[in-house]
Amino acid sequence: MIVYRRDHCGYCFSLERALKNAGVPYDRRDIWSEPKYAEFVRSVNNGNETVPTVVIDGTDVRVNPRPADLLRAMGVEPPPTLWHRITGGRNG
């Protein structure tokens, strides 16, 4: 999996943290440090540099996916959220 990202992007930070916590390896590509990475992101986002842009298995491109949804799509159960750890999953 490849994660196209940039510094100071909260969505990128959140996604990368979730991937690391779940033990999912990925190739990190910074669109601000390498023009060809930014060019790729623009090519799949109608000219926009929307990050994170994720490529799974070389063909499945996802733009700014929710971390839990991405993990589930990869067959990985996301770690419990802080709310679930505190409350045991109870509502209210």
pLDDT digits (tens, 9 = 90+) for 11-51: 999 999 999 989 999 999 999 999 999 999 999 999 999 99
pTM, two decimal places: 0.84
Q: Examine residue 53 and state whether it is found in any structural domain, yes or no.
A: yes
Alpha carbons 77 and 13: distance in angstroms, whole number? 19
Residue 61 belongs to what domain range? Answer: 2-87
31, 55 Cβ separation under 8 angstroms: no
Give the H or E element holding residue 62: strand 60-63
Q: Examine residue 92 and state whether it is found in any structural domain, yes or no.
A: no
Q: Examine residue 24 and state whether it is found in any structural domain, yes or no.
A: yes
CATH at 73: 3.40.30.10
In total, how many domains does the chain have? Answer: 1
Q: Examine residue 17 and state whether it is found in any structural domain, yes or no.
A: yes
Task: Specify the higher pLDDT residue, 57 or 37.
Answer: 37
Alpha carbons 62 and 44: distance in angstroms, whole number? 9
5, 12 Cβ separation under 8 angstroms: yes
